[in-house]
Amino acid sequence: MTTSLRTPRVIAVVAAVAAAALIATASAVAIDAMPGASTKPVVVRAKNEVTALLTSVRAARHEGYDRVVFQFANTLPGYDVRYVKRPVRRDGSGKVVQVNGAYIVQIRMRNALDADLTKSGAPRTYTGPTRFSPRTPEVVELVRTGGFEAVLTWAVGLHDRVDFRVTALNAPARLVVDFRNH
């Protein structure tokens, strides 16, 4: 009779340990929301024939990453996203641009502008700030560093050298860069 009483207890203990292990594993998987992220450059050549027109830049905190979004009115540009060393220089003039943060990721978008050169007076398509701090865990500051000869460049200042992931989305056209946060 002693054996039969111990068996349910043993089964209950084993089940509890297995459940705890499963929960711990599921939690670890849920925290890593950035499969494929790394610190290596991500380069995609421009395929768009018309100039991509920037309309919005935003940043927000998500569970496991800070997201930076560049939204376009019409199409996606080509892009080159990579860590760069200081000094950060303005496109065209070469003047040094101060960017807050210990590390800098440069986002250079080709065949893209924030003004529509096909219209009289070249109206701005992006009228938001050209320098702002989103108050997220990892992203310190975003700074527009150029819009010259259909190359639009922004610098992202970061607290740490973290993995990033780049995603291109449609409807509306968006270039999304996620930075791992802690």
Domain extents in the chain: 1-31, 42-180
42-180 has which CATH code? 2.60.40.3500
Output the pLDDT for position 180: 96
Q: How distant, in Å, are the alpha carbons of 6, 11, 51 from that of 1?
A: 9, 16, 82
Q: What is the pLDDT of residues 137-165, one digit of tens each?
A: 999 999 999 999 999 999 999 999 999 99
Output the pLDDT for position 182: 79
Q: Band the pLDDT of 34: cuts 50, 70, 90.
A: confident
Q: Are 83 and 161 spatial neighbours (Cβ–Cβ below 8 Å)?
A: yes
As beta bridge partners, residue 116 has none
Q: What is the pLDDT of residues 55-95, one digit of tens each?
A: 999 999 999 999 999 999 999 999 999 999 999 999 889 99
Q: Are 63 and 27 spatial neighbours (Cβ–Cβ below 8 Å)?
A: no
Output the pLDDT for position 173: 97
Q: What is the pLDDT of residues 86-116, one digit of tens each?
A: 999 998 899 999 999 999 999 999 999 999 9
Output the pLDDT for position 29: 46
